[in-house]
């Protein structure tokens, strides 16, 4: 499977997806740690891809997203942003309703 196809498949299969370094429980960089902490505090399950284990995605995703850095948060196939944007949205109370609404929509579609 082409890397771009793999990325598109991941985005279509996961309503809330964080591309990060490491995992939410064992992040490999401070930015990924902060981003995953903010997401976990929203209280909804989310998927993640460890780009350190997927060098092809690490190379291709910044071109596809037109976003050069990681982590990257995607909700319903749309790029939300990186660590700074995630934290800013969380602190302003904008991230929680976005994540909750996306999760509820996905759960309703799955039923």
pLDDT at residue 110 greater than cutoff 90 = no
Tokens 């995605």 locate to: 57
The angle formed by the CA atoms of residues 44, 4 and 8, to the nearest 5 degrees, is 35
Boundaries of every domain in the chain: 3-103
Q: Cα separation of 31 and 35, whole Å?
A: 6
Instruction: Evaluate if residue 1 carries a pLDDT over 80.
Output: no
The pLDDT tens digits of the residues spanning 40-74 come to 999 999 999 999 999 999 999 999 999 999 999 99
**Residues 83 and 89 sit within 8 Å (Cβ to Cβ):** no
Give the per-residue pLDDT at 109.
86
Superfamily of domain 3-103: Glutaredoxin (3.40.30.10)
Reading the block at residue 103, the tokens are 């999760």
Quote the Cα angle for 79-72-37, to 5°.
120
Look up residue 56 and give its two tokens. 């092809």
CA distances from 75 to 1, 26, 55, 70 (A): 23, 22, 22, 15
Alpha-carbon distance of 98 to 52, in angstroms, equals 27
């Amino acid at each position: 499977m082409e890397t771009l196809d793999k990325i598109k498949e991941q985005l279509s299969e996961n309503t809330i997806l964080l591309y990060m370094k490491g995992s939410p429980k064992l992040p490999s960089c401070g930015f990924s740690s902060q981003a995953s902490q903010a997401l976990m505090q929203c209280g909804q399950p989310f998927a993640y891809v460890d780009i350190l284990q997927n060098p092809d995605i690490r190379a291709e995703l910044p071109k596809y997203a037109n976003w050069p850095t990681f982590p990257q948060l995607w909700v319903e196939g749309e790029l939300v942003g990186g660590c700074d944007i995630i934290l800013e949205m969380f602190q302003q109370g904008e991230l929680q309703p976005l994540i909750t609404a996306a999760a509820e929509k996905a759960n309703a579609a799955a039923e």
